[in-house]
Amino acid sequence: MLYLALIFIIALGAYSAYAARKIKRLKGEFSSSEARCARLTGYADASTLLASSGNRISLIEALMDGAKSITGSGMAAIFLSDENGFHSSIKTEGGPSGRFEEADLELERLLREAGAKRPLILDSSGLVIKNAMIVPLLLRDEGFGKLLVANKPRPYTDEEEDLLMSLGTQAALALKKLATETAVEGLATKDSLTGLFNHRAFQEKLDSELERARRFSHNLSVLMIDIDDFKKFNSAYGREAGDAALGNIADIIRESTRGIDLAARYGGEEFVLLVIESSPETALRTAERIREAVRAGDFNGGKLTVSIGVATYPADAGEKEELLKEADGALYIAKKRGKDKVISADKFSKIL
């Protein structure tokens, strides 16, 4: 009897161990299936957003969010070939603000140095960024940029690489479609002399960017830029030289700003610039860069300067008309105080 009981206990123990292993395996399979379902859902959602993106910024955000969702990565970044534009998700994810700049620099370096045709996986990339994967944004061998995901707890899988490559192709297709639409739209929205947006297009862009700024709690700065004593320049050098100078200053504004910022000819010798998702301090530095570049320029043997007024949403104004009024008021003070100056709306209010 004791012998039978001992056999039963041994058999029961063996079965329990077998059952425990089976339950553990089933749990692992369930967890794996659940994770795969989440990846595929993230891929489907990102594909839908990419196909419906109406502008470059929303497309970039959809691509970065989708890439993180598919892979479970802590950060994502994009480098676009056509505008030499770098975008990262770091600042929207929280974390120690003192490391934002360090991480962004490391991300941009990785993206610049990576090849443009094949995926690249890096097990350990640097002090801030670990375990990174970079995939190209390719459409029929035409490169549109590169996508990076990083800081994933576990190594990247072949399936995640395949999903990101497919997502990159869709993003490239969406970028090409936007570029084509932008080229057609540009015929009606661009100023023929300078190639910048015209006044009407600027007003529409300002409306949409203000809406985005409210939705995502971003800053949005307006720079009003006016050429000092332009009528005197025209009188001295002629209308043709004046037109050439307007084109040269438009080029300076373009070269002094990022690809996501938006410049327009506001009318006559006045320009306007939207500095998107940047602090008031960054907007002021941009304004000073433009002012100094114009001052150092040679315009058919003549010299020109600009005065610039700067206002930022939401610090200086909460509505469109108020924001434009604040920037224009700061520009007026810059003119009154001797021209060739940059004045911000907060300084303008203190002066008044």
For residues 278 and 285, give the distance between their C-alpha atoms in angstroms, rounded to a whole number.
11
CB 190 within 8 A of CB 198: yes
Q: What sign for the dihedral angle of Cα 291, 293, 298, 299?
A: negative
Residue type, 38: A
Let me know the angle formed at the C-alpha of 281 by 279 and 286, rounded to the nearest 5 degrees.
Answer: 100
The fold of 190-351 is: Alpha-Beta Plaits (3.30.70)
Can you give the pLDDT at residue 92? 45
Can you give the pLDDT at residue 124? 62
Please tell me which residue, 217 or 114, carries the higher pLDDT value.
Answer: 217
For residues 117 and 114, give the distance between their C-alpha atoms in angstroms, rounded to a whole number.
9
Residue type, 329: G
The DSSP symbol for 120 reads: E
Can you give the pLDDT at residue 190? 86
The predicted model scores a pTM of 0.52
* pLDDT at residue 131 tops 80: yes
Domain 37-187 matching CATH 3.40.50.1820: the answer reads no
For residues 155 and 49, give the distance between their C-alpha atoms in angstroms, rounded to a whole number.
27
* pLDDT at residue 319 tops 70: yes
Can you give the pLDDT at residue 296? 94
Exposure string of 226-236, with b = 16+ CB inside 10 Å and e = fewer, is bbbebeebbee
HSE on the CB side for 240, CA within 13 Å?
A: 1
Q: Counting Cβ atoms within 10 Å, is residue 145 exposed (0-12), middle (13-18) or buried (19+)?
A: buried
Can you give the pLDDT at residue 112? 78
* pLDDT at residue 153 tops 90: no
Please tell me which residue, 74 or 331, carries the higher pLDDT value.
Answer: 331
Let me know the angle formed at the C-alpha of 348 by 266 and 247, rounded to the nearest 5 degrees.
Answer: 25
For residues 249 and 341, give the distance between their C-alpha atoms in angstroms, rounded to a whole number.
16
Q: Where are the alpha helices (DSSP H) in 191-319?
A: 199-216, 230-237, 239-255, 280-296
Domain map of the chain by residue range?
37-187, 190-351
Averaged over 316-339, what is the pLDDT?
93
Residue type, 275: V
HSE on the CB side for 99, CA within 13 Å?
A: 11
